[in-house]
Structure 1
Amino acid sequence: MTFSDTDFDHLMTIVAEAAAREILPRFRNLGDGDISEKTSAIDLVTEADLLAEQYITAALKARFPGALIVGEEAYEADKSVVPALAHADLAFTIDPVDGTFNFAAGLPVFGTIVAVVAKGETIASVIYDPVLGDTVTAMRGAGTFLRRGKGQARRLSVAAPAALSAMTGAISWGHMDEPERSRICANLAKTRMTFSLNCSAYEYWMVASGKWHFIGHSKLMPWDHLAGVLAHQEAGGYTAKFDGTPYRPGETTGGIISAPDEDSWQMIRREIIGA
């Protein structure tokens, strides 16, 4: 199976339609019965997550009937789909509402993330902001772009390397265990400023556009990271797992750091993540 520029345009349309139909009408309009806990009080699922994923999945299956579809919410019913990403001819990962805690709280810091994977390589990605109507897009070898809702587009670039004390960014430590959790939180004081958005869509948006210098995560579910890593790399950045190996579709452990270049990555790995 192939994935063309026309297919990519169709994908962006599907994502925007799902947001308009299923996500935005429910933003700040959810009732108590529309929100459920998955693993904890900060790991939520809403009607918008479920219905938007169903909409995108159905549209992708109609256009690509042989493709593997890996949705965050459907994953609970069949966990074998994630390892299958490493070998699928064509696959899509979907995070319908990334930042569900923010969405459910009425905070407009959430997004829809879709990655396109072919033969073990991420080849295209869409990170969509339903509130603003803006999209960060990337295709392998063709750069990363911010596409505004009214049609304007500009190419994105990562931040220039800087001293650690001048860097801004985020390390998502919420899923880490002790003693790593406390050590990394303390080490973040070496930077200029750190943030916690609880939203991979916005974190990758910030680092791919050069607003932040770095981000890092310990939990590597593909719908959270494949699209963002491609966007960051196509914007000129360097991403690798904590052990220095590349992050690939199908992997869920090992942690990753995204930084302006390899030297910056090494500094963050040494000074923030530590041994």
Structure 2
Amino acid sequence: MNRSVSAYSPGSSGNRPASRHPDFAAVTAILRETAAIEVMPRFRRLAAGDVREKGPGDLVTVADVASERRLTAALMALVPESVVVGEEGVDADPSVLDLLAGPAPVWVVDPVDGTGNFAAGRECFAMIVAYVEGGETVAGWIYDPVHDVTIHGAVGEGAWCDGVRLAVAPAKPLAETIGSAPSRVRKRVAERGAAEGIEVPGHLLQYRCAGREYMDMAQGGLDFARYGRRLKPWDHAAGVLLHREAGGFSAVDEAGRPYSPRDGIVEGSLLVAADAAMWEVLAGLLIPSA
């Protein structure tokens, strides 16, 4: 089959057969073009009618919709037999999630991750693309259009930014860590630390943009993140892969089961940490009372 712009390149992972994934540069070019046409011209220029609520506190803008439409067309053209599971597409038709367990290669797309930040004129937002085969992420891209920075990676090939292989920050004493967690979790941890006199993370915050958090974790600037309640594949499919390829560890709930986009929207808590030992330390503080 004829594929455009060198659509595939080889990769491998342990005992797994060599995988074939879309060319990193081709997908990055699609992200950059889409951002230049659909996203950045609307940043800090949204009219009142350009923003609406899908649900309480869950915003969508014209940039999200237009960006997903353009990404869908370009990515499906890159791999003609592929399908797309996008955040806005699933909002319109939840059955689209079923494609994740189907036979076709799947692009999982978050056209503007951190829409609340984008709509408020804050620079903390990203565009996320994952390439999924057989229900598992094979390759991923996270693009920061404000600073024109992309991280990308594939199974067994590492995570990369501008030709530099990425590595998570090494595990450190809990009191020296910086991590992300929802406000209810931050409050609970602070109360336990004060009441029980136990060691807690040195600083907890939240970007309100999973893509930018994954970028910082893969580059060693953020030590961990805890996500919870409803884990959506467009938020985590690429990020979990890239973090793992940068040397990190992640798992869902106290049982420590691996995250998989095949499961669609997962009810549970995802904890992303430097390694398995640090994950165990953090899990007792961050996972209960999801």
1:271 alignment counterpart: 285
Asked whether the 8 Å contact 1:82–1:222 carries over to 2, the reply is: no
Q: Distance in 1 between matches of 2:186 and 2:202?
A: 19
Residues 1:231 and 2:242 aligned together: yes
> Which has the higher mean CA deviation after the structures are superposed, 1-10 or 20-29?
1-10
Letter in 1 for 2:173: A
Deviates more, 1:187-196 or 1:216-225: 187-196
Alignment coverage as a number of residue pairs: 264
TM-score (norm 2): 0.85
Q: Structure 2 matches for 1:150-165, cutoff 5 A?
A: 153-165=163-175
Alignment of 1:31-50 (within 5 A): 31-40=47-56, 42-50=57-65
1:185 Cα deviation from its structure 2 partner = 6.1
Equivalent residues in 2 for 1:173-212, closer than 5 Å = 173=183, 183-184=188-189, 186=191, 190-212=200-222
- Choose which of 167, 172, 181 in structure 1 pairs with 2:177: 167
Distance 1:32 1:210, change over 3 A: same
Q: In structure 1, what is the Cα distance between the partners aligned to 2:191 and 2:65?
A: 37
* TM-fit CA distance, 1:269: 0.5
Check whether the contact 2:130–2:140 (CA below 8 A) recurs between aligned residues. Answer: yes
**Runs of 4 or more above 4 Å deviation:** none
* Aligned match of 2:275: 261
CA distance 1:19–1:182, shift in 2 (3 Å): same
2:87 matched to 1:76?
no
Which of 8, 23, 36 is 1:4 aligned to? 8
Matched, 1:214 2:224: yes
Percent identity (aligned): 41
Root mean square deviation, CA, Å: 2.1
Residue 153 of structure 2 corresponds to 138
1:272: how far off?
A: 2.6
Tell me the distance in 2 between the aligned counterparts of 1:250 and 1:185: 35
Distance 1:126 1:201, change over 3 A: same
Matched, 1:240 2:251: yes
Structure 2: which 5+ runs fail to align? 10-21, 195-199
Q: What displacement does 1:181 show? A: 7.9
Question: Which amino acid counterpart does residue 167 of structure 2 have in structure 1?
Answer: S
Alignment partner, residue 130 of structure 2 = 115
Aligned-partner residue type, residue 203 of structure 2: M
Amino acid at match of 1:235: A
1:31-57 deviation digits (Å, cap 9, x = unpaired):
1111111112x3111111000000000
Deviations 1:144-165 (A, max 9, x none): 1123xxxxx3111011111211
Residue matched to 1:92: 107
* Cα shift readout 1:123-171 (whole Å, capped 9, x = no counterpart): 1111001111100111111111123xxxxx3111011111211111111
Conserved 8 A contact 1:259-1:265: yes
- Separation (CA, whole Å) in 1 of partners of 2:155 and 2:178: 26
Deviation at 1:184, TM superposition (A): 4.8
* Superposed displacement of residue 253, structure 1: 1.8
Contact in 2 for aligned 1:68/1:88 (Cα 8 Å) = no
After superposition, the C-alpha distances for 1:170-225 in whole angstroms (9 at most, x for unaligned) are 11357xxxxx7853564588211111110011110111111111101012100000
Give me the TM-score of the superposition, normalised by structure 1.
Answer: 0.90
Partners of 1:238 and 1:144 in 2: CA distance: 14
Match of 2:32 in 1: 16
